[in-house]
Amino acid sequence: MTSLSLKARAACLLGLVALLALPVLASLTGETFYISMASRILIFGIAASALNLVFGYGGLVSLGHALFLGIGAYSVAIPSFYGIGNGFVHLGICLVACAAVGAMTAAISLRTSGIGFIMITLAFAQMGYFAFMSLKQYGGDDGTPISATSRFGALDLGSSIHLYYAIVTVLLATIVGMYWLRRSSFGMVLRGARQNARRASALGFDVKRTQWLAYILSATTCGIAGMLFANLNAFASPSLMSWFISSELIVMVVLGGVGTVLGPVLGAIAFIGAEELAKAVTLHWAAYIGLAVIVVAVWARNGLVGSMASWASKPVKVQA
């Protein structure tokens, strides 16, 4: 077993133990705020992983994935407005709505490439943003509170502890799914199309269909993150669909490592964690966050995962 695998497995195991132990430690110290903060970070880790499927694996830069976060949030908020707190209903609406919107928007967006794809996905997200702003019965641009959070039998996502462990479960399932997908024939075609779509098509692969399916899967995963976010805040707002949120997701993917499995999660941890720390120190926190992102983009082009892999590949010195 190589030193790389030893260090990588040890780091993953340590991270998993920390995730599982966090609520217990937070409760013992009375700092329950950290449960909410960690939940927010992990939710964005799920959303960034979803974006990484099309951006990192497929080379499709989407500036409209916040649309699916918003759809997921309103999949909880709108039924809740009518007193429906059944989590299975919320999840069903989320999956169907995100898959349908993802299929439609992808079918149109994939007719273009490059800057055209970026602008069309952004346009669809803005359309969704203004559409939900116009829904005055659900609060319009002020958003709407959620009185009936998602309940899956005994599992009530209105409980911070239940919600946290649900988020961790979804995150782990997403990581495992992305790892498997990356190594599957589907993932190989998607990654091959990123390198040279014409050559992949010439070899007989249906590149457009693969990209279309990847976009739908990415949209539904992002929608689930939005559903969890709505339960975390007990609130849904059209602002969740803004282009600013989509750009933050892109920054998280780039910061962590484009096309890697754990990169988006590490990027979310680094970005939101640094943001919270900077806010506590200075009012000009955004400038420092921007500078940090520039430094990583220039000097660590493979992101945090690339830097960590370089560190882990160094042999372990054992004292005799």
Give the model's pLDDT for residue 232: 96
Give the model's pLDDT for residue 275: 87
Give the model's pLDDT for residue 125: 95
CB 232 within 8 A of CB 44: no
Backbone φ and ψ for 134, nearest 5 degrees, come out as: -80, -10
Give the model's pLDDT for residue 2: 43
Per-residue pLDDT of the chain (320 residues; tens, 9 = 90+): 344 457 667 878 888 898 999 998 888 888 888 999 999 999 999 999 999 999 999 999 999 999 999 999 999 999 999 999 999 999 999 999 999 999 999 999 999 988 999 999 999 999 999 999 999 999 999 999 998 999 999 999 999 999 999 999 999 999 999 999 999 999 999 999 998 888 999 889 999 999 999 999 999 999 999 999 999 999 999 999 999 999 999 999 999 999 999 999 999 999 998 888 888 888 777 787 788 778 877 777 677 887 776 655 555 454 44
Give the model's pLDDT for residue 313: 59
Give the model's pLDDT for residue 4: 47
Residue 145 host element (H or E): strand 144-145
Give the model's pLDDT for residue 27: 84
CA dihedral 173, 210, 102, 231 (to 10 degrees): 10
Token output for 169 = 């479960």
pTM of the predicted model as reported, rounded to 2 decimal places: 0.92
Burial of 44 (0-12, 13-18, 19+ CB in 10 A): buried
Token output for 103 = 């299929």
Task: Count, in order, helices (H) and strands (E) of the chain.
Answer: 12, 4
**Residue closest to 75 by CA, chosen among 165, 171, 129, 146:** 146
Q: Amino acid letter at 222?
A: C
Long-range Cβ pairs for the range 200-209 (8 Å, 24+): 208/110
